[in-house]
Amino acid sequence: MADGVGVEEGVGSTALVVAAARAIETHRHDALARDVYAEHFVRAARVSVGWPVRPRQVPGGEADPLWGRLGRYFGLRTRVLDDFLLRQARAGVRQVVLLGAGLDTRAYRLDWPPGCRVFEIDREGVLAFKGRVLGGLRAAPKAERVAIGVDLRGDWAEALTGAGFDPEAPTAWLAEGVLLYVPRLAERALMAAVDRLSAAGSALAYEVKLGVESADVRESPIYAEARRQAGVDFLVLFDRDPRPDSAGDLAARGWRTSVHTAFDFSRHHGRGPRPQPDRPDALAANRWIFANLRTR
| Structural domain includes residue 99 | yes
What is the rounded CA–CA span in Å between residue 107 and residue 95? 12
Domain for residue 160, yes or no? yes
pLDDT tens by residue, 175-229: 999 999 988 999 999 999 999 999 999 999 999 998 778 888 899 999 999 999 9
Per-residue pLDDT at 115: 96
Spatial CA neighbour of 137 closest among 52, 13, 36, 33: 36
Residue 2 lies in a domain: no
Residue 257: domain span: 11-292
Residue-level pLDDT at 258 = 97
* Residue 295 to residue 202: CA distance in whole angstroms: 9
- 257 is a domain residue: yes
Tell which residue, 53, 46, 60, 1, has the closest CA to residue 23.
53
- Alpha carbon distance 82, 262 (integer Å): 14
What's the pLDDT at 247? 95
CATH code, 185:
3.40.50.150
Q: How many domains does the chain have?
A: 1
